[in-house]
RNA sequence: GCCCGCGUAGCUCAGCGGAUUAGAGUGUCUGGCUUCGAACCAGAAGGUCGCAGGUUCAAAUCCUGCCGCGGGUACCA
């Protein structure tokens, strides 16, 4: 069998292979099966073999089967490995250049250059092909400010959605937010105080540019009053009920209603502008005012069926039966709490999409809460609960351990972060574009594993060197710049399989071929940081290669090197796209 | 108290069952642009992987206990 890599330049047709059809997409699986056959033939043991990517010095793939087998067979692992190596070398002579035994008994496989080049054709698998998925994230509340946490969760949710979409899923990105609820009562109360009463016309005095900030200030004032002043607290509770009543009565005309609707719209305008700025697009927005009635009705129905119970004037779900907390779904005022609104949201999403899987992405302060909500839903809509996944990330903390709270007003707004990074970027390059700013911010958030808190150091996050978005974007632009200079030089991937590759070339090629495996892993784990780690290693590999090897004017190596750089730049661009980061040709 | 999460170089993080030297970035110190973009590259220094047991041929990685930090624990979201 002879392997030939075709071209990865999109305009060129699919590669042709000599000999029997060889599918590079399954190279790894085929190798694993081949080694498993050797194990069976030699030792009569059936076991699945897993190949891993070892340190480059050891080869392209490694298997630890000999170590696992040794004890079972009562033999020395090196002996077992040696025997496996001989036979594997024989059976895989066409694709594998070298089979060696190292360390305690690892079996290391090194592919032929042709096989490695053929692996460029591989595409990551599409496990979500044909599936309908709903991702819900960001979830800002009208009447409150967008802080750095919203920015973080939006970036994470986008990357997750991108991964699922790439994997073949039809992804519906939706957003949930509280246009009713106690926080609205607090802000409305403070707004009315500021206006000196229910005078909607006075809202016109607030300059457009200051609206979101003005509302945020009023939220903080309302919260303080709620905590410190009993009279204010009662008024806020009343304002909260009043807001619900606006929806019940479809009231758009009373003075109170006009203040509410105007300010609500200000919030949505502010959200839209922000999402546009960071390149996020939601298909649908679920305001709590829409989910609350559905949730309320559902909880009341299920109350009669015994799923929920009354307790101290409220309607609760007794989570203690399941080792969870007991939570209030309808409060003593008869209003739905966040729990009931979430029930309503789940049902609406279910009715709208009949999804295969619904993924809710939020901060991890809500994990126990969500378990209770899902357990309650499971009682009357088990299929819906089963198909819902709650994926959580940590909080964004300020360096120094200060926790930010929009309630207390000591927070960093989302736009502050973007503005800071923009300012810092401009110091390095006065003509820096939005792509680099967003690249820096998104990458800074995504490079950490999702789950734990992340530390946001305004000074450091602003740095755009080292393991950063701009580093990758710059590496990409450099590669494109070389390719642009060599426009006339043909460089299909065939150039990589004719003749022996030099060590630096092979090393870069090897790294490029890891892309499919990395994407598959990031997708199955829903962990975008694997892409970041990989892309950074890839870019380092390229930068090193580029530093030490002439490309244009390198004579007989030129075509192969250009082909390599072309493949590299394409992969880098695709990887960044999965993260929601642009890869401009020039910076 | 109970439940959940986290503890890896000064700092920020990868690694989450395997390889003699536990990897990056950053910071500190050295070198490298008359040559394809130096937002780059090459190198040095820096770690009893919170502590103690256990499982395993193999543990930063799995299990148990302890310590430390954070979150949750009925009418907030």
Specify the nucleotide whose C1' lies closest to residue A433 (CA): B39
Rounded CA–C1' distance between A535 and B46, in angstroms: 26
Closest CA to A527 of A447, A415, A439, A408: A447
Specify the nucleotide whose C1' lies closest to residue A440 (CA): B39
Looking at residue A498, the DSSP 8-state letter turns out to be S
Rounded CA–C1' distance between A463 and B29, in angstroms: 21
Specify the nucleotide whose C1' lies closest to residue A541 (CA): B41
Specify the nucleotide whose C1' lies closest to residue A315 (CA): B75
Closest CA to A574 of A542, A535, A547: A535
Closest CA to A568 of A522, A521, A527, A511: A511
Residue at minimum CA to C1' distance from nucleotide B20: A103
For strands A61-63 and A106-111, give the pairing: antiparallel
- pLDDT tens for residues A334-376? 989 999 999 999 999 999 999 999 999 999 999 999 999 999 9
Q: Provide the β-strand partners of residue A61.
A: A109
Q: Provide the β-strand partners of residue A389.
A: A359
Looking at residue A555, the DSSP 8-state letter turns out to be G
- pLDDT tens for residues A107-149? 999 999 999 998 898 899 999 999 999 999 999 999 998 989 9
Q: Determine the 3-state secondary structure of A306 from DSSP.
A: coil
- Residue A220 has a CB neighbour count (10 Å cut-off) of 22
The set of strand B positions with any atom below 7 Å of a protein CB reads 3-7, 11-16, 18-20, 24-27, 32, 35-42, 56-57, 70-77
Rounded CA–C1' distance between A326 and B11, in angstroms: 41
Q: Which residue has the tokens 């300059």?
A: A207
Specify the nucleotide whose C1' lies closest to residue A561 (CA): B36
Q: Determine the 3-state secondary structure of A449 from DSSP.
A: coil
**Alpha helix ranges (H) inside A167-210:** 182-195
Q: Provide the β-strand partners of residue A285.
A: A175
Mean of all residue pLDDT scores within chain A = 89
Residue at minimum CA to C1' distance from nucleotide B77: A338
Task: Look at A62-71, A156-165, A391-400, A528-537 and tell me which has the smallest mean pLDDT.
Answer: A391-400
Query: What was the pLDDT predicted at A317?
Result: 96
Rounded CA–C1' distance between A158 and B8, in angstroms: 29
| A83 and A42 Cβ atoms separated by less than 8 Å | yes
Rounded Cα distance, A410 and A465, in Å: 29
Question: Which band of pLDDT confidence, cut at 50, 70 and 90, is reported for residue A579?
Answer: very high
| A580 and A510 Cβ atoms separated by less than 8 Å | no
What is the complex's ipTM, to 2 decimals? Answer: 0.95
Give every CB contact of residue A59 below 8 A, 6+ residues apart in sequence: A98, A100, A108, A109, A110
Where do the DSSP E strands lie in A435-477?
Answer: 454-456
Closest CA to A425 of A414, A435, A413: A435
Rounded CA–C1' distance between A440 and B66, in angstroms: 41
Rounded Cα distance, A275 and A438, in Å: 12
Rounded CA–C1' distance between A400 and B10, in angstroms: 15
pTM of the model: 0.92
Rounded CA–C1' distance between A219 and B5, in angstroms: 30
Specify the nucleotide whose C1' lies closest to residue A139 (CA): B77
Cα A429 to chain centroid, rounded: 29
Specify the nucleotide whose C1' lies closest to residue A554 (CA): B36
Residue at minimum CA to C1' distance from nucleotide B42: A544
**Alpha helix ranges (H) inside A334-412:** 338-353, 367-380, 382-386
């Amino acid at each position: 069998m002879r392997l030939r890599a075709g071209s990865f330049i999109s305009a060129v047709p699919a590669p042709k292979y000599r000999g029997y059809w060889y599918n590079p997409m399954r190279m790894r699986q085929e190798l694993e099966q081949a080694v498993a056959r050797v194990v069976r033939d030699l030792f009569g043991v059936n076991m699945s073999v897993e190949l891993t990517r070892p340190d480059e010095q050891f080869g392209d793939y490694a298997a630890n089967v000999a170590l696992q087998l040794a004890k079972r067979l009562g033999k020395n692992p090196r002996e077992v490995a040696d025997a496996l190596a001989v036979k594997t070398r024989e059976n895989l002579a066409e694709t594998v250049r070298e089979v060696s035994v190292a360390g305690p008994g690892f079996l290391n496989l090194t592919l032929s250059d042709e096989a490695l080049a053929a692996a460029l054709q591989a595409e990551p698998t599409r496990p979500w092909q044909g599936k309908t998925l709903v991702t819900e994230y960001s979830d800002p509340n009208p009447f409150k400010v967008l802080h750095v946490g919203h920015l973080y969760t939006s970036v994470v949710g986008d990357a997750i959605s991108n991964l699922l979409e790439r994997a073949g899923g039809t992804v519906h990105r939706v957003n949930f937010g509280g246009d009713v609820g106690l926080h609205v009562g607090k802000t409305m109360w403070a707004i009315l105080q500021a206006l000196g009463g229910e005078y909607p016309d006075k809202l016109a005095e607030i300059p457009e540019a200051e609206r979101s900030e003005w509302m945020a200030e009023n939220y903080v004032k309302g919260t303080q009053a709620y905590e410190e002043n009993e009279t204010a607290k009662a008024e806020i509770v009343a304002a909260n009920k009043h807001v619900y009543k606006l929806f019940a009565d479809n009231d758009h005309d009373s003075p109170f209603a006009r203040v509410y609707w105007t300010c609500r719209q200000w919030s949505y305008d502010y959200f839209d502008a922000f999402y546009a700025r960071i390149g996020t697009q939601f298909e649908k927005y679920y305001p709590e005012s829409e989910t609350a009635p559905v949730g309320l009705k559902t909880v009341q129905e299920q109350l009669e069926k015994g799923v929920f119970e009354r307790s101290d004037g409220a309607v609760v779900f007794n989570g203690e039966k399941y080792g969870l907390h007991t939570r209030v779904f309808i409060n003593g005022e008869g209003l739905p709490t966040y729990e009931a609104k979430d029930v309503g949201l789940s049902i609406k999403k279910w009715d709208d999409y009949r999804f295969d899987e619904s993924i809710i992405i939020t901060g991890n302060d809500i994990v126990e809460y969500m378990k209770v909500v899902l357990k309650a839903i499971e009682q009357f809509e088990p299929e819906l609960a089963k198909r819902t996944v709650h994926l959580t990330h940590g909080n964004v903390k300020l360096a120094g351990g200060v926790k930010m709270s929009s309630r207390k007003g000591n927070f960093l707004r989302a736009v502050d972060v973007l503005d800071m990074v923009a300012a810092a970027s401009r110091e390095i390059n006065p003509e820096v574009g939005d792509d680099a700013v967003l690249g820096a911010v998104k990458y800074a958030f995504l490079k950490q594993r999702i789950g734990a808190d992340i530390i946001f150091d305004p000074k450091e996050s602003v740095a755009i060197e080292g393991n950063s978005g701009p580093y990758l974007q710059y590496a990409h632009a450099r590669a494109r710049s070389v390719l642009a200079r060599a426009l006339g030089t043909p460089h299909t991937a065939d150039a990589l399989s004719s003749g022996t590759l030099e060590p630096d070339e092979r090393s870069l090629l090897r790294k490029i071929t890891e892309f499919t495996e990395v994407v598959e892993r990031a997708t199955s784990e829903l962990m975008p940081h694997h892409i970041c780690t990989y892309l950074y290693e890839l870019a380092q590999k390229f930068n090193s290669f580029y530093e030490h090897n002439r490309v244009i004017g390198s004579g007989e190596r030129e075509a192969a090197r250009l082909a390599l750089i072309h493949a590299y730049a394409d992969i880098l661009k695709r990887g960044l796209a999965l993260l929601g980061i642009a890869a401009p040709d020039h910076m």
